[in-house]
Structure 1
């Protein structure tokens, strides 16, 4: 994901991760994407044993292998080895959150391509729809595929497809230290994923679960930030 809409900040040095930090960042990203270690290793063209060796030995061992892992995880190389820009900024200036806020919040809009960029290859979001008993909002782990949203659910659950009802999908992120955030909202119809080739590539859902696709008809995004006094 990009940070082209964040307030301009001085460049901060990229501090290479320790092996422990690299392993933690790798594991966190796997959880966000719903991938297993074996799936990540296969997509990066290496064995699980070699993947673990790359992570354990860190940035000085096999940089091309780390580049492949970063691509599999939908991250830039520096995001994998040194953290996202906001992490590096806070590491370089740990008192950045102590500056007082000044002025009203500044709102902005994201273009449709920027919205998809913010979503990345997957993560955590919310799905909302109206059911027989009123509005229903549930957290979901999602993947992005060909400008659609994929998630898993119980066929008997509140988030199962219904030909007569559309759904809203929303993802937002905030950073209280940088005093900024963004939100992406899309609405569209739901349907079960039936493409066998695609299903073979996706993580297997629980025995009672199925993959669902949301094809958005509308995509909108907003940014918000508050200036801080320096």
Structure 2
């Protein structure tokens, strides 16, 4: 028991050190790639070709742009999503190796009791995926409701004198409030769809452990020893 506890403590310390170093390396690579992409964009805007290309391989500028090339604010150029795609692809590439190795280690310890935990993971991740897709749909509806509210406001503000003369301010105010209430309703639904996947991911480890050990003890009749 003491050896197991000592091994667990050592494993936690090594994992903490490895995770911190890996996160630091990822942040440094992100900063370097971000700076490199912005430098390429700036060089392309000013010179007309990407750095490192030969003279024959440069892309010619248009006639109207050759005199004064358009140089926009490169500092505000958002290249973050392009870099995030790299980490997503890397995570997808590493997922089969991590999944198979973890499943093999768990199967050696608890045998077929690993299946209930795997089922819990599949159910929870499917629910998270459904809620994230619903968040995207609700985002579209929220923007549509916001456009409707702003359209009503613009129409009312553009004809405010006529509305006061004809005493139509009440109906227009009702339209604006109705559109606003619909927008707030969709905002609340989106907030719920965003927070629930985070809560499920936070408690997923505990649920998987309970399902695995519960099946291991109750169904297979094994005992847990410290």
TM-score w.r.t. structure 1 length?
Answer: 0.22
Q: Is the helix fraction higher in 1 or 2? A: 2
Q: Is the strand fraction higher in 1 or 2? A: 1
Larger-gyration structure (1/2) = 2
